[in-house]
Structure 1
Amino acid sequence: MATEHYGLGEPRMLEKIDKLFACGVGELVDLPQIVVVGDQSSGKSSVLEGLIKKPLPRDSGLCTRFATQIVFRRAPTTKIDVSIIPSRDAKPDHATRARAWGRAVETLDSKAFVKIMDEVHEVMGLKADSSDTEDSATIPTKPPTFSNDVLRLEISGPDQEHLSVIDVPGIFKSTTFGLTTKTDIDLVRNMVKTYMDNPRSVMLAVIPANVDVATQEILELANDADPHGDRTLGVLTKPDLVDKGAEPRVIDLVDGRTRPMKLGWHIIRNPGQMEMADTGLDRDALETNFFRSQAPWSTIEKDKVGIDALRVRLKDVLSSLVKREFPKVRTEIKNRLENRKARLETLGPERSDSSDQRAFLTRLATRFQRLVSLALSANHGADDAFNSRSALRIAPAAMARMKLFSDEMAEHGHTYAFLDPDGKERPIAVPTGAKPQKHGEPAFGATTAIGNPLANVGRGAQQQGFPNRNNANDSVELVDILHPASLLAYPEKGNIKSWLSHVFKTNRGFELGTFNNTILATAMKKQSMKWADMSLAYVSDIIVLVHNFIVAALQAECGDANVRETLMQILLDELLKRYQKSLDAARFLLEVESTDTPFTLNHYFNDNLQKTRHDKVHAGLKRKAFEMEGTQVVRVDQAAEVNNMSNDEHVVQEIHDILKSYYKVTRKTFVDNVCKQATNHYLLTSDSSPLALFSPILVGQMSEAELEEIAGEMPEVKRIRAQLKKEIGSLGEAVKILARA
């Protein structure tokens, strides 16, 4: 029976494997296959002739310029279908042309087959023959000699048993003038290695018996691809040409005594050149007679000699191979299909025209604004992107920076340390080891520019100040607008009254026991001189947070790096303008505080002033108090001495108290205004903020040129998309083939 060498169901599996080859999935998934390999002079063509039981036209170029898959199939009628499977890297027009070509013949008539081979060469774009060289020097681009396309011969008939083999071009070391080049040597070698390296292939290594196998390069390549010899079957040819006395060496090889392989060795006897000239030659009878009557070849086991025995061995090997690998192939095809679909998904929808491009960017902008909304409401659990990209958590980061700004303004925003009610200076909160500025040290307002003040906190001169920036890792595109990083001095500890006394004496008018508003304005301007550095640095840090958020959000929602980069370039000018508005808002608030006459309607100013005066009197009385019968008592005459000071001293003390109360109220108002206006409004929450820029509305206003520039697919992306679609088509067809009963 035709299936005597198969287990149940194996013919169907073999047929499915052949159909997988035909649909081109063999380029994507390693399929079980038998590959015939050897040198050009090894006798591979004669082996194929024996397998198909038909002579091949010697001038057809078959199996010399491209891989050939030969499929034998049981069918009621005899037929030979010839087709071309384009290579994976074939250009679309070539692939379409190759797939469209096909021929069907009833017999392998030499004349008809030569004509078919000429058509195959033309479709594959190969040189017609070795004589195609006379004008090669004048041809700009000469056609190649070899192709990565695969010629498929499907031989059907009632006497055929299912078998499939792939023959690849023979490797060679020397070039042929006008036909092959050194480049062709490497091309063929790489092509052969690709088939041999397939872990699911069984290599039929064809080697002449009349040469030393140790010198055969094809065995070296087979050993590299299959070091344990699990999938290599050696086939020896030309035993009739073995020198007398050298036969035992060949027989030892066939019997496995030398160079053993798990699949073993086989030996066949092909007709010689003179014998092939005999049109009445019976190839099988010639071979059978040789191994039956010629000593010592007649001593070899019959299942290791002859083309018929080889055909049986190949069917057994292929059947076992397919049975073992078929479930793995099924799983791998499904996995590859899912992988290709996922990769195509990352490219997003196809963007071939302005309508596609606008729709693509609108969807992207919608997803971007969703992230903005979630981020500003700190709803981080609604999207996994917040877990993988910390820059998206902008709300807690901005709040932390606002709190730091407020705290630092309270602790270090003033130039001179204010006095407590008892006349002492309150301790200044500074990092461990840092030293507050002392009276007489370099003038305040001077800063030391550094690259990143946070990078070296705790070292040397930086112990004398604090960094104005909390995030000085600025993007290159932001450097020109952001406030530079620097160190600011801590409040000066010393005699603030001596400074205020100097201000009073150098700015007093003809007032009697009081002072004019210009003195308070002068003192306030000096006392708040660090506000500019601190507030602009704070706003700059929030700008960096916003910019990093925009970059991270685009990365999270858009997998196309070219789209992201181009989009950011388009948005950058407007983003910089909006960032600048926030800095301008802060500068406006600074200008109001530094140039206008001190003024406030906040009742806390008066409350603070009255409390300061009360606490000062209380502290003075407490110093004079003594205990009498468990009660603190102050003598009347000593109580009168509490505020005993000169007229000028009294005015200076009054300036200090008013300045302290006004500074506190103004600082809080200023901090609130900078946070609410410069950052919250201009940078975070308003419709004109940078976060609101990239929106569906903006996309709707873009011109076709802008859409093409941003969302038009790069040639490389188009190529990848086309390749993925092609592979998905092949893999999808493969899944259908596997699903059929």
Structure 2
Amino acid sequence: MEKLSTHRRKKKSAMGPTGTDSLPVSGDDGGPSSVHHVAAPKTIGSSSLDALQSTDSRRVMDIVDKLRRSGLSGILQLPQLVVSGDQSSGKSSVLEAITEIPFPRKENLCTRFATEIILRRATTTSINTKIIPDKQRPSTEKKRLEQFKSTIVDFAELPNLMEEATNLMGLGDDGSGIARAFSRDVLSIEIAGPGRPHLTLVDLPGLIHSENKMQSKEDVALIQGLVDDYIREKRTIIMAVVSAKNDYANQIILKKCRDIDPKGNRTVGIITKPDFLEPGSENEASWIELAENKDIFFELGWHMLKNRSDKEASKSFTERNATEAAFFGSGRYRDLPPEMLGIESLRGRLSQMLYKHLKAELPSLQKELNEKHDEVVKELEKLGEKRATARDQRRFLTKISQDYQDVAKAATNGQYEHDFFGNLDPEASVDHESNIRRVRAVVQYLNLQFASAMRQYGHKRITNASGELSPALEDDKKAVEPALDEDYAQFSTYQVAERRADAIERVRRILVRSRGRELPGTFNPLLISQLFWEQSHHWKAIAEFHIEKVAQVCANFVAAAITCTVADDVAHRLQAFTVDPALDARLKRAKAELIRIIADNKHHPITYDPKYTAMVQDTRRKKSESKLKRIVDQAKISVYNGLSKVTEPYLKPDVLDSGKGDLLELDMDKTSAEDALDSQQAYYKEEVKYFISAVTKQVVERHLMRDLAADTISPTLIGDMTDDEIAFVAAEPEETTRLRGNLETRKAMLEKGQETFKSALGLCK
């Protein structure tokens, strides 16, 4: 079974998988039931650890160590070594051999939570232990675990510390017989001393193949998730430990490494317990082939170690290393390169791996640090200054109102240089939410949509003869209208098609029923009004739809502008207190303006545009020319020259005389009806242009777009607010105070990290 964690490799008080009282040790190698200090020195220091790092490597590690001690490990993914493997693979013994730190060990125990071992060079020796609680723990439990901090100067005290930490995590036996088997909490052990390198290793619980009476299905899932979380971090070097006692094809860690790091760029394989292989056997040959990187390829390669057996548990590290060297100096292992055998060469390899890895990662780490700093600064800027007094609160609101004004004015004026506007999304529609910040462009687009919808669908009746539009509307066919969005195109269902002859008959019936004192052959002037009112019946619905759409666009823009310039808590209160009422009032004024424009259309038609009379006269002329053309065509003479039919260039006088009567319509009511219809169509064509202009200028521009910034949030509005109103909007809630404190702490840590990079500039180039 494996030991607690890399740092608690041989702990002394965690509960074993059976739930019995036991030391929180890592028991990869088993061992006697009592605690062993493995001939450990009483003071902390190990000169052989210097092999882990060269001078340049130490310089690089100094940077990472300073970043870690600044508290940035919770904000950035810092480079680290993670040791992982299946249960009982010997990984904790690997860590013990690398660090030469005698962790407590006890029989039949496994690593039950992640343990950070932080080695740090210092003038004095010390061991500092703390618990980093799982983020999902309740706040009360987090506080309780965070209070666990202890410092010792002798390794002999380490087992008791580990036992206490294990019990605090809820993994010890409390006498009830019920205890958790594993935890997502992290035990952090910082070991400082004169000979220590700057190095961080993480020991993870061993991967479990299947549930059993000591380890539940939930335990299996917890450990799988925990290991995945660590080894997925792209700045982590994975030390994948596999035991030669078991077929490596069945060891879970190798599959995980190949899935997460398929090219093996940041994985080094560690083979343990080769002394259990039968010398000269095929099984031994297959493991040697694996070590030679011929089967499962890792770019960082493989390494073989012989850890202490149970019988060797009391031997010193010097004796352990000598036994290992003797083992690899015999049999097939003599043919393997010495740099891939034994703990001494592993330290050298790790030194080079770490140096290259960290040197490659530092530029991206610095970039990420700067990006995180920029994000925190922006979040703090959104919160604004601290605001305890009424004066501070008023100044705070005045400042954010000025920032909002800059953004809102630029947007309504169509000036998009501000960072607020970001990048365009050409693939999305103009009025899509991704483009809504460019509100002037959106409103211009919607106005064009409205104008096109009015020209195409504003008239209730579509009058045609033999498939052609009536003369007064013929020019409409020449205009190329923009494609209408579906929500505007819906108004096509409002229209009714009719033939011109049916339209004339309909108007004649209306004429008869609305006759006044006018002479025969003329029509009541009010007839034009009635026809126009009916034809323009849907104007109000189309205009209201357009106004509502533009108002919503403005509201969405204002919300985006506020979100960009104001902290969330203040944004919500400003939205409710000033912005929403202002937007509602602007929409009401816009609708009232539309009602006035519609009311003007209900009065008797008035126009002074000469185009109207020209259009009426042109319509009459075209009708006369059409009738005359038919008569002329009838009067043309066609003769035969013996071979073909030839039309002579002169007309029959008698045919022309007989056709003159067709030029005059004897039915005066029909004539009047036709004149009224043509006059109404000519008037409609001019009036729809005025209506489009009135709605876009007098309604949309005057009431929805103009002064949008000033009406929603402005220094003037802030100045008119009472102190109570200011306090309601700007007073900082408790959660904001906590958020500000958290952001300021993070900002300080990130700035300390930036200073670390600045001070080390040039060392790692």
Q: Which residue of 1 aligns with 2:218?
A: 183
2:113–2:182: 8 Å Cα contact kept in structure 1? no
When residues 331 and 725 of structure 1 are mapped into structure 2, their CA distance, relative to the original with a 3 A threshold, is farther
Match of 2:530 among 525, 531, 534: 525
| Residue 108 of structure 1, CA deviation | 0.3
Tell me which amino acid in the other structure corresponds to 1:285.
Answer: E
2:115 aligns with 68
User: Aligned partners of 1:655, 1:316: CA distance in 2, in Å?
Assistant: 105
- Sort the Cα spacing of 1:255 and 1:608 in 2 relative to 1 into closer, same or farther, 3 A: closer
**Is residue 685 of structure 1 aligned with residue 702 of structure 2?**
yes
- Give the SS at the match of 1:104: strand
Indicate the SS of the match to 2:753.
helix
Helix, strand or coil: the match of 2:304? Answer: strand
> In structure 2, how many angstroms separate the alpha carbons of the residues matched to 1:71 and 1:609?
92
RMSD after superposition: 6.0
* 1:60–1:236 distance in 2 versus 1, CA, 3 Å: closer
2:549 to 517, 524, 544: 544
1:525 Cα deviation from its structure 2 partner: 0.8
User: CA offset at residue 558 of structure 1?
Assistant: 3.5
CA contact (8 A) 2:271 2:303 kept: yes
Inter-partner Cα distance in structure 1 for 2:475 and 2:442: 28
Residue of structure 2 aligned with 1:284, choices 318, 324, 343 = 318
Q: Which moved more, 1:216-225 or 1:11-20?
A: 216-225
What are the ranges of 5 or more consecutive residues in structure 1 without an aligned counterpart?
A: 137-141, 419-423, 433-452, 456-469, 475-481, 625-637
Q: 1:347 to 1:18 in 2, by over 3 A?
A: closer
Shift of 1:9: 2.0
Match for residue 127 of structure 1?
A: 170
TM-score (norm 1): 0.66
Report if the CA contact (8 A) 1:19-1:737 is conserved.
Answer: yes
Q: Report how many aligned residue pairs link the two structures.
A: 646
Structure 1 residues 731 and 172, CA gap change in structure 2 (3 angstroms) = farther
Give the deviation of 1:386 after TM superposition.
9.5
Percent identical among aligned pairs is: 16
Is the 8 Å Cα contact of residues 85 and 98 (structure 1) preserved in structure 2? yes
Aligned partners of 1:682 and 1:689 also within 8 Å: no
Tell me the CA shift for residue 107 of structure 1.
1.6
Q: Does 1:171 align with 2:245?
A: no
Q: Deviations over 1:246-285 (max 9, x none)?
A: 7785477458677656633323241525x54x6xx54533
Deviation at 1:238, TM superposition (A): 7.4
**In structure 1, what is the Cα distance between the partners aligned to 2:143 and 2:557?**
42
Aligned partners of 1:12 and 1:613: how far apart in 2?
93
Q: Whole-Å Cα distance in 2 between the matches of residues 610 and 203 of structure 1?
A: 88
Structure 1 residues 626-664: Cα deviation after superposition (integer angstroms, max 9, x where no partner):
xxxxxxxxxxxx9xx99x999x97898789779977986
In the alignment, which residue of structure 1 is the partner of 2:273?
Answer: 237
Q: Cα gap change, 1:704/1:70 in structure 2, threshold over 3 Å: closer, same or farther?
A: same
1:708 to 1:252, Cα distance in 2 relative to 1, 3 A = farther
Structure 1 residues 298, 513: CA separation in 2 closer, same or farther (over 3 Å shift)?
closer
Task: Tell me, in whole angstroms, the C-alpha distance in 1 between the residues paired with 2:609 and 2:302.
Answer: 104
In structure 2, distance between residues paired with 1:36 and 1:504: 97
CA distance in 1, matches of 2:119, 2:705: 72
Q: What are the superposed Cα offsets for residues 565-623 of structure 1, whole Å, 9 maximum, x if unpaired? A: 99599568657645543443344224x32xxxx4759596998799899989x999x99
Cα deviation 1:690-718 (Å, max 9, x = unaligned) = 95763447787799999999999999x99
Distance 2:608 2:367 in 1: 71
2:301 to 248, 263, 266: 263
Structure 2 residues not aligned, in runs of 5+: 1-46, 432-438, 632-656, 761-765
Once residues 343 and 329 of structure 2 are traced to their aligned partners in structure 1, the CA distance between those partners, rounded to angstroms, is 24
Structure 1's 235 and 495: CA in aligned 2 closer, same or farther, altered over 3 A?
A: closer
TM-superposed CA distance for 1:303, in Å, is 8.5
1:428 matches 2:474: yes
Q: Distance in 2 between matches of 1:20 and 1:514?
A: 98
Q: Distance in 1 between matches of 2:95 and 2:534?
A: 94
> CA separation in 1, counterparts of 2:672 and 2:287?
115
Superposition pairs of residues 293-692 of structure 1, within 5 angstroms: 296=330, 300=334, 310-341=342-373, 343=375, 345=378, 349-350=382-383, 362=401, 366=405, 369-371=408-410, 373-375=412-414, 384=421, 388=425, 390-391=430-431, 392=439, 393-394=441-442, 396-397=444-445, 400=448, 404=452, 428-429=474-475, 431=477, 473=487, 486-489=493-496, 493-494=500-501, 506=513, 508=515, 519-534=524-539, 536-552=541-557, 554-555=559-560, 558=563, 570=580, 577-578=588-589, 580-590=591-601, 592-593=602-603, 598=604, 668=686, 672=690, 674-675=691-692, 678-686=695-703
Alignment-derived partner of residue 146 in structure 1: 183
CA distance in 1, matches of 2:562, 2:457: 38
* Matched position secondary structure for 2:103: coil
Partner Cα distance (1:369, 1:22) in 2: 44
Cα pair distance change 1:59/1:246, threshold 3 Å: same
User: Which residue of structure 1 lines up, in the alignment, with residue 153 of structure 2?
Assistant: 106
Question: 1:510-538: CA deviations, max 9, x gaps?
Answer: 777797x9x32135313542112245424
Give the AA of the match of 2:758. A
In 2, Cα distance between the equivalents of 1:398 and 1:547? Answer: 12
Per-residue CA deviations over 1:479-524 (Å, capped at 9, x if unaligned) read xxx9965342468534988777666655556777797x9x321353
Counterpart-to-counterpart distance in 2, 1:413 and 1:394: 28
Partner in structure 2 of residue 139 of structure 1: none
Amino acid at match of 1:734: G
- Compared with structure 1, are the counterparts of its residues 296 and 606 closer, same or farther at alpha carbon in structure 2 (3 Å cutoff)? closer
Q: C-alpha separation between the residues in 2 aligned to 1:166 and 1:497?
A: 92
Superposition TM-score, scaled by structure 2 size: 0.64
Secondary structure of the structure 2 residue equivalent to 1:270: coil
Q: Deviations over 1:139-173 (max 9, x none)?
A: xxx76732342413324134x55654332222334
- Quote the Cα distance in structure 1 between the aligned partners of 2:254 and 2:502: 96
Q: State whether residues 270 and 283 of structure 1, in contact with CA within 8 Å, keep that contact through their aligned partners in structure 2.
A: no
